[in-house]
Amino acid sequence: MNIEQAKKILSTATLLEPQQFDSEQQLAYEQLRQDASLKTWFDHQQETDRQIQSTLQQTEPPADLLDSLLNPPVAKPERNILPFPIHAFAPYAIAACLVLAVIGISFKDTILNNQFFGYHRGISSFDREADFQRAMADFVYNTQISLDELSDNRSYILEWLTQNDAPTFGGIPQSLADLTTLGCKKFFWQDMSVSLVCFHTDNGKLVHLFTLHHPGQTVEKTQVIHLQRYFDLPTGGWHAGDKSHILVGSEPDVDIEPMMTHIRKSKFI
The answer, yes or no, to whether residue 150 has pLDDT greater than 80, is yes
Rounded-to-integer distance, Cα 145 and Cα 204, Å:
16
How many CA atoms within 13 Å lie on the side-chain side of 198? 19
Section 69-95 average pLDDT: 51
The residue with greater pLDDT, 50 or 195, is 195
Interval 4-22: pLDDT, tens: 777 788 888 777 887 777 8
Angle at 49 between CA 22 and CA 24, to 5 degrees: 15
Q: Is 249 exposed, middle or buried (0-12, 13-18, 19+ CB in 10 A)?
A: buried
Residue 89 has pLDDT above 80, yes or no: no
Q: Which residues pair with 200 in a beta bridge?
A: 180, 206
What pLDDT sits at residue 113? Answer: 35
pLDDT for 216 = 73
Percentage of residues in the chain having pLDDT higher than 90 = 38
pLDDT the model gives residue 84 = 45
Say yes or no to pLDDT of 123 above 50. Answer: no
Q: 119 pLDDT exceeds 60?
A: no
The residues, any chain, with a CB within 8 Å of residue 225's CB and separated by 6 or more, are 129, 133, 236, 237, 238, 239, 244, 245, 246
- Is residue 78 scored above 50 in pLDDT? no
Question: In the predicted model, is pLDDT for residue 218 greater than 50?
Answer: yes
C-alpha atoms less than 13 angstroms from C-alpha of 49 in its C-beta half-sphere: 13
In this prediction the pTM is: 0.55
pLDDT of 103 > 70? The answer is no
> 117 falls in which pLDDT band (50, 70, 90)?
very low
